[in-house]
Amino acid sequence: RDHFDRDRDATSELTSTAYVLAAAVHQLGLISYTQRSAAGEQTAARPPEQHFQVQLGHVDAQGGTASLQVAHPQLGDIALEVELSNGVLRVIASAPTELAARVLLEGQAQLAERLLRQGVALEKLDVTVANKRKDSQRARARNRKQER
């Protein structure tokens, strides 16, 4: 019973951490949305809806892993692989563009602060550009064909 409770607590912590991270990533780089009222006054417009998916991987009493997909309205689809262990989070992010990668890296302090409010320390954030990896794979394949 005790082991079951620890695993359930770890699952709950990983799930809530994943949702906090996804929501925080979604807010990075968003343009301030404003609109004009009929009287010409500027008011805050409703920000775009948040769209993300969280899939839990292995979970045990110390923590676990999860995969997140965040559909960012300006930056595109961002994939995150997270590992939570004893309240410490490590994240590997795959961004669709150089701009998205830069926004994630520049927002690292904001992400860390948001997570710390949940009692989770962001130890590491690695960011790669997904298209760059695909482009280099295509170039290598093209070079191999030319060598034949």
For 23-78, what is each residue's pLDDT tens digit? 888 888 775 444 555 666 655 555 557 788 999 999 988 889 999 999 988 899 99
Rounded CA separation 20/4 (Å): 24
Terminal-to-terminal C-alpha distance of the chain: 63
Question: What's the one-letter identity of residue 123?
Answer: E
Apex CA 111: angle with CA 109 and CA 113, to 5°? 70
Q: SS3 for 77?
A: strand
pLDDT digits (tens, 9 = 90+) for 81-139: 999 999 999 999 999 999 999 999 999 999 999 999 999 999 999 999 997 655 555 55
Q: Which residues pair with 60 in a beta bridge?
A: 63
Please tell me whether the overall predicted TM-score, pTM, comes out greater than 0.85 for this model.
no
* Alpha-carbon separation of residue 83 from 10, 51, 76, 88, 100 (angstroms): 12, 21, 23, 8, 21
Distances (CA, A) of 105 to 11, 43, 128: 27, 30, 10
